[in-house]
Amino acid sequence: MEPIFALAFGVMIAVAAYLILSRNMLRVLLGLLVLGNAANLAIFLAGRLGSRVPPLVEAGEATVAVSANPLPQALILTAIVISFSLVAFTAVLFENAYKRLGTLDPDAMRDAETPPGEGLRDDERRE
């Protein structure tokens, strides 16, 4: 099982890198989403795949012999919530940026970047 999942992790990282390097912010957003899920898969893998018995201790016993590790699942749950909220925020931010700046190409977004020595028009732009 592990090699397949490790391969899937690698493929997801590659896809995410390809998308994030794109010159379209929508694809960058999708890339961030894939990257976040690749990280979740990494946590899952790090906790070892294997038996799916829930880690519940039966009455009268002190330990469970073979059970799933609950910690990675708790970590992934946290990470999913965080990456979901951040991607939601990013989607809204990108949409606003598209509305105000009129482009989805990050190379064409030049409002915060001006050549050295000329960065004076920021104040005028604000008004």
Is residue 126 near another protein by the rule CB under 8 A? yes
Closest contact distance (angstroms) between CB of 42 and another protein is 4
Residue 5, token pair as written in the block: 């999942």
Nearest to 36 by CA among 82, 89, 95: 82
Is residue 60 near another protein by the rule CB under 8 A? no
Q: Which residue type occupies 54? A: P
Residue 85, token pair as written in the block: 């909220």
Length, in residues, of the chain: 127
Is residue 89 near another protein by the rule CB under 8 A? yes
Nearest to 16 by CA among 4, 28, 26, 3: 28
Question: Which residues contact another protein (rule: CB under 8 A)?
Answer: 20, 25, 28, 32, 35-36, 38-39, 42-43, 45-48, 50, 69, 71-72, 75, 78-79, 82-83, 85-86, 89-90, 93-94, 96-97, 100-101, 106, 109-113, 116-117, 119-120, 122-123, 125-126
